[in-house]
Amino acid sequence: MRRSRLIVAVLLSLSLVAGANAQSSASAASSEYLIKAGFIYNFAQLVQWPSAAFSQADSPIVIGILGTDPFGTSIDRVVENKKLDGHNLVVKRLRWSRDLKDLTECNILFVSLSEREHISDVINMVKWLPILTIGETPGFAARGGIINLTLEDNKVRFEVNIGAAKQANLNISSRLLALAKIVPQGAEGKKSE
């Protein structure tokens, strides 16, 4: 996984050298995040929040993006004009330590790669709250995150920590689970350490 990221980095650096190639690499990177944005929307469909999670019946589902935003506008375009069970979808960009209060008011919290240093803090902070945590860092699910997006043969896959989901009082649809790699608490962390 690291290698692939390296490849991406190399590609990125190469793209800086050659302008034409850089554009195609950029589009490849944005296509990955377009897919990830779609996944996030799909997760929202297959996860059931407790009714207490929303102050009102038509309160929006808030998607918080913590750290450097890798999506650009693609995620906004995906959720634009969509409604799930009467809820609109709203995207919020958050910073660690500065937006801590907003962080706990999200319904979906995407932890960007840039925040890998704070993963444990973030998880500890929200693990009892009905917040669907999504990461893209290896070992994120094993360390207590609910869903972790991975790359597998250049295809986006995901891992699910069912215990974490139960702790967050979130009901994940079996259809989602059928597609996910189930990760037990702590296993991945040890493995990835």
Identify the CA nearest to 66 among candidates 134, 2, 17.
134
Distance, CA of 169 to CA of 184 (rounded, Å):
17
CA distance 22 to 62: 33
Residue ranges of alpha helices (H) inside 2-99 are 2-17, 19-46, 74-79
Q: Provide, rounded to whole angstroms, the least separation between the CB of residue 44 and other proteins.
A: 10
Stretch that binds other proteins, among 5-13, 136-144, 169-177, 182-190 (CB under 8 A): 169-177
- What number of other Cβ atoms are within 10 A of residue 58's Cβ? 11
Among residues 15, 33, 37, 39, the one that binds other proteins under rule CB under 8 A: 39
Decide: is 77 part of the binding site for other proteins (CB under 8 A). Answer: no
Per the document, the length of the chain is 193
Segment contacting other proteins (CB under 8 A): 31-39, 86-94, 107-115, 132-140?
A: 31-39
Secondary structure tally for the chain: helices H, strands E: 8, 10
User: Which of the ranges 5-13, 95-103, 168-176, 181-189 carries the binding residues for other proteins, by CB under 8 A?
Assistant: 168-176
Among 46, 125, 151, 162, binds other proteins (CB under 8 A): 46
Query: Residue 48, interface with other proteins (CB under 8 A)?
Result: no
**Among residues 179, 182, 187, 191, which is the contact residue for other proteins, using CB under 8 A?**
179
**Greatest extent of the chain over all pairs of C-alpha atoms, in Å:** 52
Summarize as ranges the residues that interact with other proteins (CB under 8 A): 35, 38-39, 42, 45-46, 84, 155-158, 173, 175-176, 178-179
